[in-house]
Amino acid sequence: MLHTLLLALVALAALGAIGCGSDQAVVDPAQAAGESIAATTALASSPSSVASPGPTTSASPAASSELAGWSNRRLAAQLVFCSVPATSPLAGKRYARMGVGGIVILGGGARSSIGGDLAAVLRAAPNGVKPFIASDEEGGQVQRLRDVVYPLPSARVQGTWSTSRTSATAKDYGARLRKLHVSVVFGPVADLDVPGKYMSSLDRCFSSRPDAVGRHVVAWVEGLRASRVLSTVKHWPGHGWASDTHSGAARVPSLSVLRRHDMVPFEQAFDARVPLVMVGHLRSKGLTGDETPASLSKSALAYLRGRTGDETVIITDSLSMAATTTAIGIKLPASAVRALRAGADLALFASGDPEPVIDAVTAAIKSGRLPRAQAEEKVLRVLELKRKAGLAPAAQ
């Protein structure tokens, strides 16, 4: 397949640029920042790129038929992904009754009762369409359910393992998550390890070498799939060079550099049919524009859709972060609407009540700012993935 051959050539080029004798990335972001817009635009439009038509404005007949009886508010709720503390997951019952698309578990301190609590949350959902239950389960410092499953080593440690060991671990861990009614893992991390940068400081990356990262990412995707748990590759287009987006705007190298290095593990995940991809709040010359993070960028999300194909669900990183609120000068509900209009399927946020966000998305659908046809297309994509996870009834 042409895409697979291209990926192999890109991976070889990345290896040659990084060097065989070192596990440290050597791309210079200052040099990357100096590359011309013309050069990055040429790369984006070259035959090796998969052109994307961008968001469509007319729903498919299947979407129109299946979702014809859905109110604007019910559609809007399915596009919202909110959070509950690990210590009090029953708070999610109220959100499930709203019809939200998903609920992520945050923080530590989960108790042994969490499986029963999450089952109660799922039962609260109306119309047989249940929310995704997600958790960050990377290992190391980012592992929400370590107390009720078992501790995983950091991604940096896992990066020294064989891929067969990584896959077996993912399969076993996924099976235990499934028993707790967790259907989605926000992981694996496909970002490159760049010493001195935010992600590296937390040991959240498998390696600085794109090929090594890609192998372990695919191993996690396949291991979780074997346990019927959905994986989420993150943080596209690659967070390795970025500062902490919780605290402010962050920039990564230009598109031409990302294509040769940071995007390579993501491409391998797409070839492995990863079901979800999480988009970071990252600015990149030639991809997003100078003042817009990828999570809110129409051009970036159209480019991503062209790489993933139609089935993969695109979810934002938490829109509660300063990189998409303070840095842009907008509030969370507006940020969610903007992300969905730009091309995301699910608007994730880590703090706050989902009701104002649902209100804002509902208003956007009603006014046409987010055309109902686009909302239906997104919801249909989400529902197809939920059916695979046993969270929604078969299409009528």
For 129, list phi and psi in degrees, rounded to 5. -100, 105
Q: What Cα–Cα distance (Å) separates residue 301 from each residue in 18, 252, 346? A: 28, 16, 12
Report how far residue 396's alpha carbon sits from residue 388's, in angstroms, rounded to the nearest whole number: 15
Active-site pick, 216, 246, 290, 359: 246
Cα gap 192→208, rounded to integer Å: 5
The packing angle between helices 332-342 and 298-308, to 10°, is 50
Catalytic residue list contains 317: yes
Question: Which among 191, 193, 203, 317 is annotated as catalytic?
Answer: 317
- CB contact at 8 A, 264 and 307: no
User: Phi and psi of 74, rounded to 5°?
Assistant: -65, -40
For 184-240, strand residue ranges (E) read 184-185, 230-236
CA atoms within 13 A of residue 51's CA, in its CB half-sphere: 5
Closest CA to 84 of 106, 108, 52: 106
Q: Could you tell me the sign of the dihedral formed by the alpha carbons of 223, 134, 197, 285, in that order?
A: positive
Six-digit token string for 372: 């109902």
Write the CB contacts of 378 (distance below 8 Å, at least 6 apart in sequence): 78, 79, 340, 345, 346
At how many degrees (to 10) do helices 264-271 and 298-308 cross?
A: 50
Is 3 a catalytic site residue?
Answer: no
Which DSSP string do the residues of 375-390 spell out, in sequence order?
HHHHHHHHHHHHHHTT
Q: Catalogue the active-site residues.
A: 246, 317
